[in-house]
Amino acid sequence: MHEFKSKRNSLYCENIKVLDLAKRFGTPLYVYSYHTLIGHFLKLKTAFHSLNPLICYSLKANSNLAILKALVDKGAGLDIVSGGELFRATQAGCPGERIVYASVGKTDREIEEAIHRKILFFNVESAAELENINRISKKLNTSTQVAIRINPDVEPKTHKYITTGKLTNKFGIDFKSAYQIFLLRRALSYVRISGIHIHIGSQITEAEPYLAAIKKVIEFVETLRKKGIFLEYLNIGGGLGIVYDRETPQTAENFAKKVLPLLKRSKLKIILEPGRFIVGNAGILVTRVLYIKNTPKKKFVIVDAAMNDLIRPALYGAYHTIIPLHCTPYTVHRTEKIDIVGPICESGDFFAKDRNLPKLKEGDFLAIMGAGAYAFSMASNYNSRCRAEEVLVVKDEVFIIRKREVREDLVRNEIVPAFLSGL
């Protein structure tokens, strides 16, 4: 599945020992494997090759320019959700016709910038947004292509915070309202509605929720056809789950086998927007044990990474496999139950609770697996902690792809008014 492998009791990323990287670059440290990243993209491309879809990597999962450039060079498009992400897409050299833009709250400035960049289309999330895009397009005297994001009201069987396709979620437009929009589309003469978009959630491990959503959408597309309304694109979003713990997510091949017959029936050009599937297992977070602390109830292993580096456990109670980098067959057999926690002043700042791990001591290094997606991209400076370095391993070579922040970065944009400086 990925290029992080244990060889002779040491964890390797491609051909490089992770422990050597930790010692060379310091910790906390994000380590990415180039071949895992590209391998996952190519797995999806191969599985869907009979439809030749546009695979728009969802850059919110990990938006480092090197990651984007690696994927764009292999033919990926990008799924963006903000002006900042459009800027990154541009920096990475992604052609406009390979960019799709979702988000429930696009501002006028963001819409104008994306129109100027000639993106493929906006995934429109409300009637009000559609009217606004029409108004801005009129002002710019251009015709803008859009897809309607449908909220198909299906249960994706994932964490409620990453469920996006139920009618209680803020995303997309219900079928009835979408139908009204299509009937009234002629009133909006500066937008061309040429596609349907769905994205039902994230870390989805089964095909059934996709099948349920796609079936509903295809029936809708057929209803529109009967009314003489013809579309060009069907964007089925992202959401494919990966292994963090004992999940058994579908492979790209199995997923494709299940959805391809339906997608072919649609006779539309297919777009996918995977994020986590491509980058999730292509990265790890390496951290060092600072202290061991025993309380009457627990044993805490305090490490130098924290929830500001990887917020998923705090945010969703998410599980990440943790591998000590010093493991020998001897240590593996002497396990104990511990909590692994960071230094931040929140009880939610943990990476593992009541986890059985080999006995650890100060100075040991740990790899927190599955930290490629929604890790650095959700990182913050909380507790005035500098964001960690990111490195990319390509076989025997390692490249710094983001420098470790320094203290000056923390206050770079802050201004103390003159009256406080005594001036």
- Tokens of residue 6, six digits: 């244990």
Burial class (CB in 10 A: 0-12, 13-18, 19+), 226: exposed
C-beta closer to ligand PLP: residue 71 or 394: 71
Q: Could you tell me the smallest distance in angstroms from the CB atom of residue 156 to ligand PLP? A: 10
Active-site residue (options: 56, 94, 345, 386): 345
Q: Could you tell me the smallest distance in angstroms from the CB atom of residue 130 to ligand PLP? A: 17
Q: Could you tell me the smallest distance in angstroms from the CB atom of residue 198 to ligand PLP? A: 9
Q: Could you tell me the smallest distance in angstroms from the CB atom of residue 61 to ligand PLP? A: 5
C-beta closer to ligand PLP: residue 61 or 191: 61
C-beta closer to ligand PLP: residue 34 or 57: 57
CA distance 78 to 56: 4
C-beta closer to ligand PLP: residue 233 or 350: 233
CA distance 61 to 375: 8
Q: In sequence order, what E strands does 161-229 have?
A: 191-197
C-beta closer to ligand PLP: residue 21 or 70: 70
Q: Could you tell me the smallest distance in angstroms from the CB atom of residue 277 to ligand PLP? A: 6
Q: Measuring CA to CA, how many Å separate 264 from each of 73, 76, 214, 258, 259?
A: 27, 21, 11, 11, 9
C-beta closer to ligand PLP: residue 28 or 238: 238
DSSP β-bridge partners for residue 197: 149, 235
Q: Could you tell me the smallest distance in angstroms from the CB atom of residue 60 to ligand PLP? A: 6
Residues 6+ apart with CB under 8 A from 4: 11, 12, 13, 18, 33, 36, 281, 284, 367, 369
In 3D space, the residue among 240, 310, 351, 237 whose CA is nearest the CA of residue 62 turns out to be: 310
CA dihedral 175→176→179→184, nearest 10 degrees, is -140
C-beta closer to ligand PLP: residue 36 or 58: 58
Q: Could you tell me the smallest distance in angstroms from the CB atom of residue 195 to ligand PLP? A: 13
Q: Could you tell me the smallest distance in angstroms from the CB atom of residue 235 to ligand PLP? A: 8
345 classed as catalytic: yes
State the residues that interact with ligand PLP by CB under 6 A.
58, 60-61, 79, 102, 199, 202, 237-240, 273-277, 373
Q: Which residues of 346-385 are buried (b: 16+ CB within 10 A; e: fewer)?
A: eeebbbbeebebbbbeeebbbbbbbbbbbbbbbbeeeeeb
Distance between terminal CA atoms of the chain? 61
Long-range contacts, 287-290 (Cβ 8 Å, 24+): 287/27, 287/28, 287/29, 287/351, 287/365, 287/366, 287/368, 288/22, 288/27, 288/363, 288/364, 288/365, 288/366, 289/360, 289/361, 289/362, 289/363, 289/364, 289/365, 289/366, 290/343, 290/362
C-beta closer to ligand PLP: residue 77 or 313: 77
Give the residue numbers marked as catalytic.
Answer: 345
